[in-house]
Amino acid sequence: MGILSGKTALVTGGSRGIGRGIAERLGRDGALVAVHYGSNEAAAEETVAGIVAGGGRAFAVGAELGVDGDVEKLVAGLDAGLGTAPGARRESAEEWALDILVHNAGLNFMGRPIEVLTPEEFDRMIAVNVKAPFFLTQALLPRMREGGRIINISSVSTRVASSGGSIGYPLTKGALDVFSRTLAKYLGPRGITVNAVGVGFTHTDMTADALADPAHWESTVSRTALGRVGRAADIADAVAFLASDDARWITGTKVDVSGGVSL
């Protein structure tokens, strides 16, 4: 049996990149995983199929984040999926319980320095990266089991200033870090831990184009102490640790999972 057997997890943005890696790892560890996606249903179903093929349990739930009604739609999808999912833990005959909540979905308008970032782009990042995690957590807290886990995917950009003037995205992740610390204190009496994971340069769909430039790749590697670009599995393994009982005494902190960027 996996170390997360009997647990139920939601991973936002779980259809691709880091989110997919997290969903797959939690599935391998035995959790029933709700794989959230914003628009790419095919990618989410592919992630689910991979988890199931490996002997795990998962289902997809779709809801575009950062728009009106996003939280309500996502929770309704969870109701539908977990209402019929085998092995879903329930507090009563009517309600399911959630053990692990991973806020991974995020939006970054890359290469948009302060001179050119528009109010619409800024508002969109705030809506997806800050507002959605806040109000999704608000909606799901009544269904979080005592001793649960909330894990927020943040960024190394909150401690390393961008040389290109890209400020909007780090601002949103800084807000998420504050959210993590404050929520950790507030939920401590329930035994729910809340932590952030500071992601560094990682090869994903979002970064593939930039990293395809050999000069950019070499620059990235040279700034990383461990001498390579991160992989989704590097982040997923850290999240799996924080989701496990081994991390029961860790809360209100940010784990730097960047390979030592700009040390």
DSSP string, 43-60: HHHHHHHHHHHTT-EEEE
227-240 pLDDT, tens digit per residue, is: 999 999 999 999 99
4-44 pLDDT, tens digit per residue, is: 999 999 999 999 999 999 999 999 999 999 999 999 999 99
pLDDT reading at 1 higher than 70: no
pLDDT reading at 87 higher than 90: no
Query: Is 169 an annotated catalytic residue?
Result: yes
What letter represents residue 197's amino acid? V
Structural domains for the chain: 8-257 (3.40.50.720)
The C-alpha atoms of residue 65 and residue 74 are separated, in whole angstroms, by 9
Could you tell me the sign of the dihedral formed by the alpha carbons of 8, 12, 14, 18, in that order?
negative
Placement of tokens 């850290």 in the chain:
238
What letter represents residue 139's amino acid? A
Catalytic hit among 37, 59, 169, 241: 169
pLDDT reading at 165 higher than 80: no
17-30 burial by CB neighbour count: b if 16+ within 10 A, else e? bbbbbbbbbbbbbb
Please report, rounded to a whole number, the percentage of residues in the chain having pLDDT higher than 90: 84
Adjacent-strand bridge partners of 123:
none
Placement of tokens 């950062």 in the chain:
66
The C-alpha atoms of residue 27 and residue 240 are separated, in whole angstroms, by 10
Segment 198-210 mean pLDDT: 87
pLDDT reading at 94 higher than 70: no
The C-alpha atoms of residue 83 and residue 14 are separated, in whole angstroms, by 20
The C-alpha atoms of residue 88 and residue 2 are separated, in whole angstroms, by 16
pLDDT the model gives residue 205:
81
Closest CA to 144 of 196, 174, 183: 183
Instruction: Quote the mean pLDDT of the chain.
Output: 94
pLDDT the model gives residue 210:
81
113-160 pLDDT, tens digit per residue, is: 999 999 999 999 999 999 999 999 999 999 999 999 999 999 999 999
Could you tell me the sign of the dihedral formed by the alpha carbons of 241, 22, 176, 60, in that order?
negative
The C-alpha atoms of residue 10 and residue 14 are separated, in whole angstroms, by 8
The C-alpha atoms of residue 80 and residue 3 are separated, in whole angstroms, by 26
pLDDT the model gives residue 90:
73
